[in-house]
Structure 1
């Protein structure tokens, strides 16, 4: 069966009208939106166009409720996507509840460095001014955002932040940007991008669980045969109580694999575990197949 790129996950039934070039797979009360795999594309321009189309699809889907974006390159068959929705439904629903009513904005603030000497007084250097503005901008944005991520800065930038905030606080964000502009109207250039789904804060990553990872997880919990979820929870609690800080991540990863098995015992296909990625956080690789 053909591979498709998983673009997003939504709760409930598929939208009545899907964005062009996409299809929907519904399972366990969740919907995965699938599109063309980027692997079929070649050349930088084609990949950039693909990224722009993906972003447009994500923004169109916002009209139908909370959208969980998926990292580029997560390609599954429709059958694998349906199985992954069912297997990971508790985690996906938890994330949908956590992000309900929230959107992402990106705010960029540039300054005209050539005008700085005209602005500074004898006791304030250009670097002093940069630091003062940077702190004021950060404080203004922090007042409206639940979370923020600092994105890479160019030399002419004072701020480049991704913000996660309640959709009802969009007007508050606009007022904060007006306050920032008032710091130096003639010298600052402010750009606001959004709203969009929370791509910098909660992008999904579907990772295939290798047979070796399953064996390691069973060995860690000393479990063979069918996995009983109640017993698994008790074993996880006991192991965590005795574990060192270094062992906790391994125990939790093994428990996640076995928890997946409790919901996929009869599926007969490959297992895919959902991980949540955010900006500045490495993509977990502990469940990848060995090369």
Structure 2
């Protein structure tokens, strides 16, 4: 079953890659690549996808880097650039982690399928919900999770929690499917899947390492379809995207080696930091949105 998943990832990657390279070559021939610095983009990709592989996420850091390094990508093209640029690195992440980290095939495929269904079926529902309230609830929930994980860490061991299971059965499997369906739907509201997935894996009693193939596999199945649409609509910065893809692919291999060989206790600390960081970012976004709403009302 996992072999089927890898086959799907390779097929999606090939389909996307063909459209990507064809569009880039055509644009280069027509001198439509733009004036961005591809070497800066390679550096941005190397750094952001390195940390993406560790579970931090790549979109927000990439946006920050584009601004800091004055890559001058039109704001209108940023969403497409992010998706197109990071699709290949995320597929590589998923292929690596489904190979080096043991996960029960039924659990892996069930949760990945749930995330994909959630992103499509749940999109209409989530898109109508208050994004600030979602961010606020998720931010608080992740903060509580980070504290609980820290207290249950073997080095502290003040309360039970977590586990070393590589798969789910019965009611836990059903809970995992429902949870990843919701997380897939929340992606349509701009809520990243990585940290919440890590938190869910912890509460269901699975090993911290298991979160990596689940969360990366979920995104790897979603991104190629969306990215092909951005390519067809020419809604992305070609030179910047290609540079990030090249650098990002290198960054993934470097980081995957570290994660795959990291001692379990150290990895748990990394997961706690990722969840805490994401919680802070979500709460900041929620509070910022509230301030903007208040300013509009008082204007």
TM-score by length of 1: 0.23
Structure in which a larger fraction of residues adopt strand = 1
Whose RCO is larger (CA < 8 A, sep 6+)?
2
Structure with greater helix share of residues: 2
TM-score (norm 2): 0.23
